[in-house]
Amino acid sequence: MKMTFRWFGEGNDTVSLKHIKHIPGVEGIVWSLHDLAAGVEWPMDRILEVKKQAEAAGLNIDVVESVNIHEDIKLGLPTRDEYIENFKKTIKKLGEVGVKVICYNFMPVFDWTRTDLFKELEDGSTALFYEKAIVDDMDPLKLVEMISDNPDFTMPGWEPERLKHLSGLFEAYKHVSEENLWDNLKYFLEEIIPVAEENDIKMAIHPDDPPWPIFGLPRIMTCKENLRRLLQLVDSPSNGLTLCSGSLGANPENNVADMVHEFADRIPFAHIRNVKVFENGDFIETSHRSQDGTVDILEIVKAYHEVGYTGYARPDHGRHIWDEKCRPGYGLYDRGLGIMYMWGIWDSLTRMKEQETK
């Protein structure tokens, strides 16, 4: 397992590359060019700038999260071909600098949805929280007002450029069913996967967060059956998954450890985080420790160990602890603790396996 850590760039993150390098076992950053709008071709000089910064700190740039998908592609509009061509050009450039994995998602409008960015837990720490009744009953424009007013940091998936077109997007998606979305995803993959293959890059789709329809929008990356269908749309090693235990784990019916075993050779990137799910459908993000949430992180890490996982992983989200001022969901300290929890499980399993073979 190759451990990585998300970094939002100089001037856009309270976490420095030096901080990341201090965390045992971290080999690279998970990065993006967050100020660029979806659908544009990434400039090589910006890509090389990140590569230079990371390598100076002794870290690789093997994983990009995300190259965002323009809504016209998801909607299947005639203009999608222009944006797909830009995506292909970006894939080629990233391949040239050694990128191995591109994480992306196909969620309409919102990349992720929460109702409280700093909900207090019993121990006094705070974390991202989803209140089902609010999402079920609230106008999405009102929810945007509640959680997007965060001037200190960019919020991936909640960029102002995207949100200012929100009303028009909801109107456009009224005519898009889940099957339409599947067709549009297939069209996209048939175009870009050959380019990814040529450039030794694995595309890794992220599950929907949360893994069910919201605000009447279609959502399809929600469960094992749908992940299996995704992999069959274009049967290629370059068509893979970002298996996110937190996104999928918000639905207790999803057995993430079982998915690890089934899709092992098609998971180039693993997001490992925990959530606590309540009986009414609410959920809150917790520490990575299995006992603190509903998702059994121990069993998930064990599953990765059992399949001999050699892909990339990162501690996905983290609580905000020790009075840290940070981007919602991305506390340095809690993600660092999460890595050490994962390494503790991994190293114990490795030691046990070594002893069994003696």
List active site positions.
206, 244, 271, 316-317, 330
Could you give the angle at the alpha carbon of 194 between the alpha carbons of 190 and 197, nearest 5°?
A: 140
Q: Per residue, what are the HEC states of 215-260?
A: CCECCCCCCHHHHHHHHHHCCCCCEEEEEEHHHHHCCCCCCHHHHH
Q: Are 204 and 240 in contact, with CB atoms under 8 Å apart? A: yes
From first CA to last CA, the distance across the chain in angstroms is 23
If DSSP codes are grouped into helix, strand and coil, which group holds residue 131? coil
* CB contact at 8 A, 118 and 126: yes
H/E stretch holding 31? strand 26-31
Tell me the C-alpha distance between 229 and 233, whole Å.
Answer: 6
How far from 246 is each of 37, 255, 274, 334, CA to CA, in Å? 26, 11, 5, 15
> How many CA atoms lie within 13 Å of 197's alpha carbon, on the beta-carbon side?
11
d(CA 242, CA 196): 16
Residue 132 is encoded by which pair of tokens? 């089902």
Q: Is 350 exposed, middle or buried (0-12, 13-18, 19+ CB in 10 A)?
A: exposed
Q: Quick check: 102 and 196 in contact, CB under 8 A?
A: yes
Q: Which residues on neighbouring strands pair with residue 120, listed in sequence order?
A: 126
Q: Which residues pair with residue 2 across a beta bridge?
A: 312
- DSSP tag of 329: T
Task: Tell me the three state secondary structure of residue 320.
Answer: strand
Q: Report the amino acid identity of residue 44.
A: M
- The C-alpha atoms of residue 105 and residue 123 are separated, in whole angstroms, by 33
User: How many C-alpha atoms does 13 have within 13 Å on its Cβ side?
Assistant: 24
